[in-house]
Amino acid sequence: MLKGKKIVLGITGSIAAYKSIFLLRLLVKEGAQVKVILTPAARDFVSPLTLSTLSKEPVLTELFDEQSWANHVMLGRWADLMLIAPASCNTISKMAHGACDNLLLATYLSATCPVWLAPAMDEDMWHHPATKENLQKLRSFGNRILPVDQGELASGLYGDGRMAEPQLILELIRAYFANNQVLKGKRVLITAGPTYEALDPVRFIGNHSSGKMGIAIAREIAERGGEVTLVLGPSSVKFNENGIEVIRVTSAQEMYNACLERFAATEIAILSAAVADYTPIAKAEQKMKKEGEGLQVELKRTPDILKSLGERKHNGQVLVGFALETENEIENARGKLQRKNADMIVLNSLNDAGAGFGHDTNKITIIYRDGAIKGFDTRSKDDVAKDIVDALIEKHYA
């Protein structure tokens, strides 16, 4: 049920606009209050009269007319969700570049709620690098891009680019609002990425972690209402999303300092970073010159962040760690959980195809404090993030 949920439905100029009439009908039937905004081009595809009759609200198009000015700021603040369906190639491009030449775009720029897009366009446009770049940009602003369908297109060709079916969009919205409440107000600390331990001003000891797993978890927690602080090591992934506080760090010591400073005020900590276990005892002030046939570097242990948080953990705080193992996986991961006083360990085995660093997929096993174990199939890192957050909620917040 979507009773009491306030949704701004933006419709743009695309042949798929007819589907939005069904979508509106479904949303209203579920109890949502829906205000529809049309772009000027959308009026050629659907009639404002149909939409206002179904929504029982005036349909908005113009930023202002002779008598009044549509308050886009209030609209953007009123909504619990802004959904642009269909989102045409043109509107996607304008959104990515901050254009503001109609009411829909002005509302988008003012929206304080999550914004979702259901793209619709011909296959060649969908696959064009410009469209991909625009969508990537919108994703990095924190907007959610719904999947497109494959099928017959307006051009008569067959391929990718059809707007997702209204029933699927409804289900995603239902799931979003159902999930969204669970972690509302919970402060969540997440570490991600590698750390670099400097040898001199130009060299470091590091590892291949991309940070993608931790970033996917940060997004998933934020989608379910959590207030996320992401302590991110030197990953090449650009990450700057609405509603997620990002602290960039380089070394294990910096990551440790950032985590310790925040842990006391945190309800959940998920430590997915691949923290270097050792760091050079001395960092050379100047670039080291090569001398002789070999080089010995003396290393010392870095602070163990997970263990330190485990020692400080108080009642009610939930601590999740990761383990990457190559042998005796379960036994080693169980030992790690005990030693570091964690509540859950997410185990990756390097023996599983598609798991670990550098892949877009992962295969995990979750080990709980009470001894229970749950295995999962190989899935995309986004889906694995969902599994991890589901497991956490099921165990501690259901």
Binding residue (CB under 6 A) for ligand CTP from 87, 275, 347, 355: 275
Polymer length of the chain: 398
**Please, what is the minimum distance in Å from the beta carbon of residue 374 to ligand CTP?**
18
User: Interface mask (CB under 6 A) for ligand CTP, residues 327-356, using x and -?
Assistant: ---------x--------------------
For the segment 228-257, give every residue that binds ligand CTP (CB under 6 A).
Answer: 252
Angle at 236 between CA 336 and CA 199, to 5 degrees: 70
Residue type (1 letter), 141: F
Q: Which one of 71, 207, 332, 341 is the catalytic residue?
A: 207
* 207 tagged catalytic: yes
Nearer to ligand CTP, 42 or 323 (CB): 323
Lookup result for tokens 């990450």? 239
Number of residues that bind ligand CTP (CB under 6 A): 15
- End-to-end Cα distance, the chain: 19
Taking CB under 6 A as the rule, does residue 324 contact ligand CTP?
Answer: yes
By CB under 6 A, is residue 271 in contact with ligand CTP? yes
CA distance 85 to 11: 5
Of the candidates 317, 316, 332, 240, the one whose C-alpha atom is nearest the C-alpha of residue 271 is: 317
Give exposure, 116-141, as e/b (b: 16+ Cβ within 10 Å): bbbbbbbbebbeeeebeebbeebeee
- Subset of residues 126 to 155 that bind ligand CTP, contact rule: CB under 6 A: none
Beta carbon nearer to ligand CTP, 89 or 213? 213
Give whichever of 14 and 272 is closer to ligand CTP, judged by the CB atom. Answer: 272
- Span interacting with ligand CTP, options 85-93, 113-121, 123-131, 303-311, rule CB under 6 A: 303-311
Of 307, 337, 309, 343, which Cα lies nearest the Cα of 325? 337
Query: Residue 227 contacts by C-beta under 8 Å, 6 or more apart in sequence?
Result: 185, 186, 187, 188
Choosing from 54, 103, 120, 273, the residue that interacts with ligand CTP (CB under 6 A) is 273
30 binds ligand CTP (CB under 6 A): no
Smallest gap, in angstroms, from Cβ of residue 207 to ligand CTP?
9
Continuous segment of H or E residues that includes residue 90: helix 89-97
Amino acid in the structure at residue 390: D
216 scored as a contact of ligand CTP (CB under 6 A)? no
Kindly state whether residue 323 participates in binding ligand CTP, applying the rule CB under 6 A: yes
Q: Does 302 bind ligand CTP (CB under 6 A)?
A: yes
Q: Is residue 304 involved in binding ligand CTP (CB under 6 A)? A: yes
Provide the token pair at 111.
């929206």
Interaction between residue 218 and ligand CTP (CB under 6 A): no
Which amino acid does the sequence have at 20? S
When CB distances to ligand CTP are compared, the closest residue is 305
d(CA 11, CA 91): 10
Give the three-class secondary structure for 231.
strand
Active-site residues, by number, are 207
